[in-house]
Structure 1
Amino acid sequence: MPETVEYGLLGPVTVHCDGLPAALPRRQRELLAALLLSAGRVVSVEALLVTLWGAAPPPTARASLHNHVKRLRSVLDAGREPAERRLLTEPGGYLLRLGADVLDVTRAETLLAAARSAARAEDWAETCELAADALALWRGEPLADLGSDALAREAPRLSELRLQVWETRLEAQMHLGRNAEVISELRALAQEHPLREQLHGLLMLALYRCGRRAEALAVYRAARHVLVSELGSEPTPELQRLHQEILSDEPAAPAPAPTAVPRQLPPPVAGFVGRESELAGLTAYLDHAAHDGATMVISAIGGTAGVGKTALAVRWAHSAAARFPDGQLYVNLRGYDPQDPVDADDALAGFLVALGVAAPRIPAGRGERIAAYRSLLADRRVLIVLDNARRLEQIRPLLPGAPGCAVLVTSREALGGLVARDGAVRLDLDVLAPNAAAQLLRELIGERARRDEAAARMLAELCCGLPLALRIAAELAALRPGAELAEIAEDLADSRHRLDAFDAGGDEASAIRAVFSWSYRTLEPEVARAFRLGALHPGPAFDAYAAAALLGTDLPGARRLLDRLARAYLVQHAGPGRYAMHDLLRAYARELAAAEESEAERRAALTRLFDLYLHTAAQCADALFPAESSRRPAVAAPPGPIPRVANPSAATAWLDAERANLVATALHATGFGWPDHTTRLSVILYRYLDAEGHFSEAALVHTQARRAAALLADVSAEAAALRQLASVDFRQGRFAAAADQLNLALSLLAAVGDTRGQTHTVHNLGLVERHQGRFLDAIGHLRQALALNRAQGDTLGVARTLMNLAVTERSLGQFGPAVEHLTESLVLYRELRDRMGRDALTVAGEADALTNLGVVDLRLGHAVQAADRHRQAIALYRSVEDQRGLVEAMVNLGAAERHQGLYPMAGRHLEQAVALCRELGDRYCEADAHANLGVVYLRDGRHPQAADELRLALALYRDLGDQAGLAQALESLGQARAAVPHGRSG
């Protein structure tokens, strides 16, 4: 495999592997050139298609590109392990990794930077030698052998680099007294590049020093004529000054470039990780601006306090410094510091000094300073970093006026005006991803973080991925070298005192509270109040309706305040129309709320929020399950704006979006004084959480409801919570636990005479007993529930109980009563649907009756009729997106198709059912699916696969305690084993 690879772009595209040239066809050379020009960054497939085939690639272009990549990889990565490969396939494109000093362009840029450094030290011999070495890297016109228009646009940049090297070498030769040697070379270059005044100036000076004053003046006249006729402008003041000095025999400088080359960047921070895409994005912006010949303004290295804006800007600026040979300027504008912000006038003065202007010669007025600054930057390539800006007034006077320079701005404000008016590009910086945060801790802490990866990840999570907090945590670890990382993480886990731990040893410039406070102090009073009260929200993210409730304002007002907080990076966008705070910022804001808002104001804000969630959840439940509206508590509409959730799709979307907030509301309301909200919320959310399979959230909400009911001494509410917890156990196959919960609920309800609650509980107990194989007990409870439902006039309850009674009768082989009860249930569900519209419960109930009739049909030998019923049921389940019913019907359809001998079709339906069961966490249905699939494979002659499926079914039936399923699966497994030939595994 090639150990060393060297690439060339300064002439025809070349690649040498272990010193030997590799022959590449033109398309592969174009591909290689495109990747080299973006080395270290992913180049999208779309960009490569345009590069290789132009704006209208042929239909076969993607396949051809794949083949070209494959062939190029065979040259660059032959025999290399995947982790060591140079040409990588990334999401959306390809990336070429370069080693150090393997590309001639990079070597030329490095040599040029070294030559200029030697020139500043007036080591002209070293300057000349380094520039000559760089110049020798050119083998002709860059990229001259390629036919790509897109790549041709890159050639001028490489030619410009060559001219800069040439000028540096010629100027050094003149300092060494070799003026006569360079005249012919300078004359040829000046003729080839007639608009380049630096070349004309060097040629004039070389001629003059050789006693050829008249020729030097003639060069000036010719140059002026070209500039006036071509550009309509006079020569630069520097060239005019050199002309006057030659006229008066007083040339003062070896070249017309009196400005200094500033190198003001601060050192990059140690342990910089996790910002690869942002660094690549900044470079991409620079490339784009270079193509357009524009000044690049990047304002949107924006983000919250401590997120690493300055670290990113400085790191990128150092990596891009070679592309700005005329220097790098840097100023901390102190927009969010304890000290006063830096005024633009003072920043201009500092920049003028850095560019070589003597302090006494700095103009007094701002306008004159701006003019002098922009004049010095004209025709130069300088990178300007404006760090920690707060206002546009600090930034605009510091923008250069001509192309070639780049400006990098960091701020805790979004600075939208800079984007709209000045063409800035935004780059919003978020906290580090968990892996990157843990990696930063490993970099900063070292062995302890590598030894205890779990503690490092916990510490990273407690720091919310905020780089400043991570660095303070690393300092804490350094101050306690004998402590385990887990111990430090445990100390930080106490949310009441977490901000105290991040005091950075009393360093106000780094302490979390102080850093946050500099952003907070800039807020208008109503925005500051929104920041404080918004932090009281107990959930992970919230929308404008929630903010309006907390603040007691209207929707436009809430949106305006959230937008202002987002521009200050004190809340983050967490999806369309949603906002969030990371935990450290939330802790700071809650401290402010406790200090500046009264307890009554805080309680009123949360009451408005919880009322909003309770009422909207009730509206959603009514939209989705109107047949059960009488079983839910009535909730009055709160004041303030309320989301529109009148139709089922809007209701489902709202519940899905707010599910985590509703769970958080139940947890917070129970523990902090709103227990009645929790008990009602539990009943309102029960059917949605159950139907959608959100069992973990259901367990949390209903457990909190039981605690809240105990606080309220509300026995009926406690029994309802127990019944809902039993449903969670039942859905996950924990039948014994479900029975215990229901029996406890029954005892509570009997004590207070709650007949309605007893009806629901007895019905559910019958379901659990059926799944435990206690069919006679189940029939007794279900008949009791049926009588109670008929007495109470509950049509929905009657329909549901009839169906479950029929399923139990079917299990005992009582097919006549089962068909009778299922038929009556089907009629009732259809009547309810006709009366109430397409309610999800009535539609799903109709489907339940159909698929259960299909099961009976199959038992009676009517497989075709059974399959038809299951298909009708599947269509109904899909119409209301009932995934749990759908998967059960698919299992039953597979069984019916199996009995018709349609094994491939049955296998497909059962395989889909297995996948969906796992997604829903429905272990009982999954057991049935595996069992049926095993029998399909057995009948189809696929005996080893049959045995595998049946073993899976057995394991699930054992866990579930389903004796009937267990016996049937064991019988089928015995058949599968008997069918496997001797000596083969089964």
Structure 2
Amino acid sequence: MSGHRLRVAVLGTLRAWLDDREVALGPARQRAVFAALAIRATAARPATRGELIEAVWGQAAPASADGSIHTYISGLRRTLEPGRTRWSTGGLLMSDAAGYRLRLDGDALDARLFGCLHEKARSRWLAGDAGGTIEILERALALWSGEALTGVPGPHAEALRTSLTRQRVLAQELRAEALLAHGGHEDLVPELTVLVREHPLREPLWRLLMTALHRGGRTTEALDTFRTAREVLRRELGTVPGPELIEAHRRILTGDPAATPPAEAGPRHRARPGGVAHVSVRHGDDAPDFRGRRPEIARLRQFADDVVAGRGRTVWVEGEPGIGKSELLAAALGDVAGRGCHLAWAAASELGPPVPLQVFTEGLGLASAAGAEQALAHVERLCASAPLVLVVDDLQWADEASVLLWNRLSAVTHRLPLLLVAASRPSGRREDLARVRRAAELRGLEVLTLEPLAPADAEALTEDLVGGRPGPRLRSLTGRAAGHPLYLREVTTALVQAGAIELENGVAELRDDTALTVPGSLLGAVDRTLAQLDEVTREAARRAAVLGTEFGLVPVAASMGLQPSALLGAFGALMELGVVVDAGTRLAFRHPLLRWAVYHEIPTAERAAWHRRAAEVLADTGAGIEPVARQLTAVPAEVDDWVTGWLAEHHAALAVHAPSVAATLLRRVLDESPPAGPHREQLLAANVRVPSGPAREPHDPAHDLERAAQPHPTAPGRTPRRADPTRAAARPGCDDAPGTPSSWSPRRPSPSLGRGVPGRAARRTHRATPIGHAGEPPWLVKPAEGGHGAARGHGKHAHPPVEERPEQAGNPRVPPGGRPATAT
């Protein structure tokens, strides 16, 4: 008998057939067991005996329930397979240690066939084929013969009955939309009149009935229908009509013959129960690709499937500003109203004083004076009519009363068909928000943390935005966004709008003359992040941005006239917000674009003074010559005695390993210092000796983008360390270790070592030799002149100074043992 094909119908009275012969399924509770097994036939695992007990009795199972399940299974086996032996494990109703499974083909259950046809009809509707939509839906609705699972007892059957009825109404609504598009409004009025009486809380049915009446010339009845719908919603739910119903009413009042025309293929779908904020989602070819977010979208849609089936859940989506939280939720959940759910979308605001419960009263369409108990009761009523998806965006801005109400709603998701979703930035210093999250975690909170996009996804997104495969220069530049979708989009958009990208043979590349500016939206996102902080912390971030992408705590504190310990709390807050990360003995902005945007928060008129202050601080903390010089050339400041004196002391060493910076600084100081200045003659002579060639452009933070081959390694794909920022005090913002003698700072290998200096280069080296001898030992200078033998002769004189300063033996400039590297 096991070779026979089983078919099952649940869209009406529960029935089953073996081939063409209907079989009797036995008493009511045995039928409930059969219904549970039929619905789970394609599940990943068998139904356990405990799950079958839950399906039949719920929480009120008697002590004899276990034995009763065994009896019902035996009765079903006798009905389905009368020739089955006692110890058989195969056949139509299989069992093993894991539980029970009914062997049922995918198309042999009418509910599953109905669902497939409904999905096909929706696809035809989105493609603009109203006629095809009608034909498919009429086949689907013909599968119904009455109320689903008529007469079958138990909580599982009741929940399934509710879910299937909801799906049937959705199909009827879509068929009515398609018939209206086909001009079938007259035939729809009787059918819709019955449906609104059976389902009075379904706003789409009221809208469709109003439209059909109006198109048939029965405008007065259409307006009366709106008044009836408004009264029903007020009385039953305490809400007002939603925007689609109001728009239909407006069109009728203005005499628009279209009166809410059917949506076009690929519409922006607005979904809301009465008074609930809507969200717009794009479908079809116009939809964003959401590169790198497909796993998160899939998880959220699975949660939506669960709530449609009656299982509530709490979800927390976390990520920094601009990472794509709102867009992700809109893409994953924006169409749940089309699946029979209420969709409530609330958003907290950082603007203005917080009003208690404002998030929920506005989001749920309640009166502003409504309290927490009224909001809870309203959610209960919504869940009684259909599953509810309730999204609270930007929860970090919500008032304390709203946060507490969110916690209470989280506690009831286990017993209500409620999908409660919070979107939040890292909670930072909001202890109430942190406590609520911890409480939700104890109840099984699902957490989705949005990280920056992986490099491959970021490159693919760039290709989508510019219409071609990124070339090396464009890829290097957009890589500075470190996978941040907002930053990447805004930087790319700014380049496109400026005409800075050229397309050739499918490759998008930057023009050679491209000058990049900070996009306004990037500045806005950074400003919103820093707005959460006190002024001292904001200034600390800006002072750090002056120093560079990586920086030390000591020079930041010194530039503000504070002790490093005074800024531990400030940088702790910046680390919590993801602005700054731990980079070992130093701190760093999470990626260069973030530092760039923070830098541009400094008023232009103040930048020169800030760089001048940073230069002096770096010099006082032993940061080395190059970092000081770059601060002095970043934004030209007034040349004062300190700048002149510092350059007079360090010009020789600076000219050796940063000649272009030295040339720029020398020329500016000579141009702006008085003719009778104390160091003028010395600097004039130094200017003559500096190697010729174009001077480097004045420093700007944007140059870091062009120089850096990769964003900071703590950006995508790596969790930043959250160590105490005191570690950064161990090393100032420089390359030289503290205490390095000034005579050692310039003794770094020249870039020209080992390359030879033939021809014109040799003459330049000869001119520069006095500078080298002024600050360099012969064993380092001679190879630049081609005198390798002489260099070896002088090499032995380098050893005694090392032996005399054992504390410098570990300096990375000199290998262990005090022996310098031999020049080749």
TM-score normalised per structure 2: 0.47
Tell me which of the two structures has the higher relative contact order, counting C-alpha pairs closer than 8 angstroms and 6 or more residues apart.
2
TM-score normalised per structure 1: 0.40
